[in-house]
Structure 1
Amino acid sequence: MTSAVEFLDIAIIVAFTALAIGQIFSMIRLILGPSMGDRILALDTMVINALGMVIVLGIRQGVQIYFEVSLLIAMLGFVSTVALTRFVLRGDIIE
């Protein structure tokens, strides 16, 4: 009979694999994206996938500092996505 720890290990491996596959697909969309909007969305998705990987790593290692790091990544990802979108749309970030 398997224990709950083994199920958690399997779930972490599955989650990390799914996030890695999503990251690869986002990189492909970043390279092949037909428009600039697709590329910006791919970059934003890559930030979200990296955020998920950091959280899964924090769960796996049992260290709480990774959750604080994930908050910083989320804030920087949001601000950079907004800044890049404004630059593409208007040609200037700060008005």
Structure 2
Amino acid sequence: MILTTAIHIALAILMLALILTAIRVIIGPTLADRVLALDQLVAIAIGFIAVIAVKTSFELYIDIALALGLVGFLTTAAFARYIYVKAGREDET
């Protein structure tokens, strides 16, 4: 009973975080804000996967969450590199 209630509360909080973060992705205002919001969306997705793993007792979801965390880190690093290179080119002109 307590676990079921905690799972539902966690899913509701994650859904609220997902909506607020999606608004940040859409509104911006800068590219860096959007990249950070996308990184936060990855973290929220990992949270969803972890809660569903607890709810279903299916341990493979934890491996999926770990893989998503690694991919999310690499994409954030790639976006950061892109922003850095783009800012460097704008300074030279």
- Using the size of structure 2 for normalisation, the TM-score is 0.90
Q: Give the number of aligned pairs.
A: 86
Could you tell me which amino acid in structure 2 is paired with residue 30 of structure 1? Answer: V
Q: Distance in 1 between matches of 2:82 and 2:29?
A: 18
Q: Distance in 1 between matches of 2:81 and 2:62?
A: 29
Aligned-residue offset at 1:22: 0.4
Aligned position for 2:62: 67
Q: Could you give the per-residue CA deviations for residues 38-95 of structure 1, whole angstroms, max 9, x where no partner exists? A: 101100000000000000000000000000000000000000000011012114xxxx
- Using the size of structure 1 for normalisation, the TM-score is 0.88
Aligned-residue offset at 1:37: 1.1
Q: Percent identity?
A: 33
1:36 partnered with 2:31: yes
When the two chains are superposed, the root-mean-square deviation of aligned CA atoms in Å is 0.7
Q: How does 1:10-29 map to 2 (within 5 A)?
A: 10-29=5-24
Q: Distance in 1 between matches of 2:31 and 2:69?
A: 22
